[in-house]
Amino acid sequence: MHGLGTIINVCCIVGGGVIGLLGRRLITQKLQDALIQACGLAVLFLGIGGAMEKMLAVVAASDGGAVLSSGGTMMILISLALGAAIGEAIDLDARFEQLGVWLRAKTGSEGDAGFVNGFVTATLTVCIGAMAIVGAIQDGITGDYTTLMLKGAIDAVIICAMAASMGKGAIFAALPVGVWQGLVTVACIPLQPLMTTAALNNLGLVGSILIFCVGANLIWPKTFKPANMLPAVFIAAALAFVM
């Protein structure tokens, strides 16, 4: 069944968030702060691991041995620079916040000061990774939902910690995840010829860097605006056909 992976992913996010929210009452403010930092550290290394996987490769050396080589630096620079410029012009960060404010009003959570921050942070963490794109494409083309099922398990743990420390706004990240991955799944069939290995690698690399930015913001608030850099992932995929 096409789309089953996204449904599983959304259910995992909601389930993990509810567990975290229920357990929040037993958690002190000091422990909530520790959870935010721990979650930020985990997201940092999730981003670093994804980026290094795409950047580093073992190549043959002239002496017959093997050396570690890195690549993609110019692509990263161009993608992030252009993406940030486009994102700042559109101000996607403000759009995400507006969506969070709208959801807060619609859910009767006006008194929850951390709702918007929890929603925006959680959404950026679970929406922009390589697993979201690649998994949704696999689900749409072959019906294989294995990647999204694994992503759902990871997201459940992350959202559980975020809901415990940042409140119920984190649970509503399930909405943009469902919409985004669902759209990719539906659109992937006509776009299949464009989803080359190089395009997916570029997309995964830049997406992982943005995940790193989200993790950095959890530890050092307002260091980056990852929402405003989101266009970089599409530029990175397009550059695969140029560079």
Beta carbons of 93 and 225 less than 8 angstroms apart: yes
Beta carbons of 209 and 116 less than 8 angstroms apart: no
Write the pLDDT tens digit of every residue in 156-177: 888 888 888 888 888 998 998 9
- 213-234 average pLDDT score: 84
pLDDT of residue 142: 67
Nearest to 166 by CA among 119, 123, 211: 119
Nearest to 217 by CA among 126, 121, 96: 121
Beta carbons of 164 and 24 less than 8 angstroms apart: yes
Longest Cα–Cα distance in the chain:
67
DSSP-derived secondary structure letter, 129: S
Structure tokens at 55: 């950047």
Residue with tokens 């968030």: 17
| 86 vs 106, more confident | 86
pLDDT of residue 12: 93
Degrees, nearest 5: CA angle 240-234-215: 110
Structure tokens at 214: 């989200």
Kindly indicate the confidence band of residue 18, based on its pLDDT and cuts at 50, 70 and 90.
Answer: very high
pLDDT of residue 189: 66
Kindly indicate the confidence band of residue 130, based on its pLDDT and cuts at 50, 70 and 90.
Answer: low
Residue with tokens 């985004």: 180
Nearest to 79 by CA among 201, 197, 182: 201
Residue with tokens 């080359």: 196
Beta bridge partners of 70: 56
- 31-49 average pLDDT score: 81
Q: CB-based burial of residue 193 (10 Å sphere; 0-12 exposed, 13-18 middle, 19+ buried)?
A: exposed
Nearest to 118 by CA among 177, 68, 163, 55: 163
Spatial distance between the Cα atoms of 3 and 208, rounded to a whole number of angstroms: 23
pTM score of the predicted model: 0.74
